[in-house]
Amino acid sequence: MRAMTARLTLMTVHAHPDDETITTGGVMARYAAAGDRVVFVTCTYGENGEIVVPELDTPENHARLGEIRQVELARAIARLGPLEHHWLGYRDSGMMGTPENDDPRAFWQADLDEAIGRLVRLVRLDRPHVIVGYNDFGGYGHPDHIRAAQLAKGAFARAGDPAWYPEQLQGPDALEPWQPLKLYESVLDFERREEMNRILEERGIQPWWTGSPDETDEQRREREAWMSRMAAAIGPKTTRVDVTDFLAAKQAALREHVTQISSDNPFLALGPEDWARVAPAEEFTLRESRVAPVRIPEDDLFAGLRDQ
C-alpha cells in the first residue's frame, strides 16, 4: 500500500449544474467543513434543461442558459463550503430520444475514450483518494448521467495505468499516474417515501413520482416502468454518511439553482427539519475498493483511509 498524502481528497463527478447539490451536497459540505479536500467535476453546462420560473422562461434566457447555470453553480458552491471545481466542457445532451441527444456536440455523442481521458487528466491532477459517480442507469436514465457514470468508472480504472493517455505524462505540464482507492455510486432512494408523500400532500404538492391526477394509463405504465428501471439499477447501500448538520447548507445551495428547482419541488418543499426526519444521510454503493480490509456497512467515504 502506497503512502497516503497528508490530506484526503474526495472527487465527485456530475452531469449538470444542480446535480452536485442534489446528489452529494451534504457529503461535500461535511467533508469540506472537516478540512478534507473536496473537488467536483461538472460534465456539461446544462444548456438544454427547462426553466421552471415562468417569468424567466424566455427565448433570450434559453439562448444563454449555459451561462446562467454557470453563475447559479458558482453561487451554490459558495453555500456548501470551500470546494474546488472543474468543468469538463461538454454540451448538455437533452433527454433520451430528443433532437438535442443527437447533436454531434452533445456529451452523449462524445468519443468515450477521449471523454474518459479528460477526466483522467483531472484525476491525475487532483489525486483523489475517493471518486463518487452514478450507477449504470445514471440514477434516472438521463444520457448525460449515464455518460458521467461511464467516465467515473473509466477514470478510476485508467488513471493509475501509464499505458493510458501517455501524452499526459510528458512535456512541461507532465502529470503522474494516480490510482484512486475507492469508487462509489450515489444512491437516491428514499426509504420513507410514504411519509414524504404525506408531508407533501399536506402542503398541496404532488411529487413527480406519484404521477399526476390526469395521467393516462399509457403514461402511468411508462412512469412505473421507468421507476422500476431506476430501482433495479440501485446497488446495495453499503455506506450511509450522516449529513444532518449540513442539510440547511444543502438547501441554501439548491435555492441558488433558480432556473431549475422551484419552491414546490420536493427537494425544497421539504425543509431541513423534514429531511432530517425522512433522509438524514446521503447513501452510496461501494463498487470498488483497493483498501483492505473493507468493513461494511460504512459511515464514512474515507473509511479505511484515515488511519493509514
Please determine, for residue 230, whether its predicted confidence score (pLDDT) is greater than 90.
no
Looking at per-residue pLDDT, the higher value among 63 and 228 belongs to 63
The Cα–Cα gap between 108 and 169 comes to 27
Does 4 score more than 50 pLDDT? no
**What pLDDT, on the 0 to 100 scale, is given for residue 127?**
98
- Could you state, in order of their start, the residue ranges of all structural domains in the chain? 9-192+236-289
If you average pLDDT over every residue of the chain, what do you get?
A: 93
pLDDT above 80 for 303: yes
What integer is the mean pLDDT of 194-199?
84
Fold classification of 9-192+236-289 (topology level) = Rossmann fold (3.40.50)
Which cell numbers in the block locate residue 247? 442539510
Q: What would the grid cell of residue 61 be?
A: 434566457
Give the pLDDT score at 292.
85
Answer positive or negative: Cα dihedral of 165, 171, 172, 175: positive
Average pLDDT over residues 273-296: 93
- Position 194 confidence tier, pLDDT thresholds 50, 70, 90: confident
Are 123 and 180 in contact by the 8 Å Cβ rule? The answer is yes
The pLDDT value recorded for residue 266 is: 87
Largest CA distance in the chain: 62
Identify the band that residue 212 occupies on the pLDDT scale cut at 50, 70 and 90.
confident
Q: What is the pLDDT of residue 2?
A: 39
Which residue is listed with cell 450507477?
135
| The model's pTM | 0.94
Question: Residue 3's pLDDT is what?
Answer: 41
Whole-angstrom distance, CA of residue 102 vs CA of residue 93: 8
Give per-residue pLDDT as tens, 103-147. Answer: 999 999 999 999 999 999 999 999 999 999 999 999 888 999 999
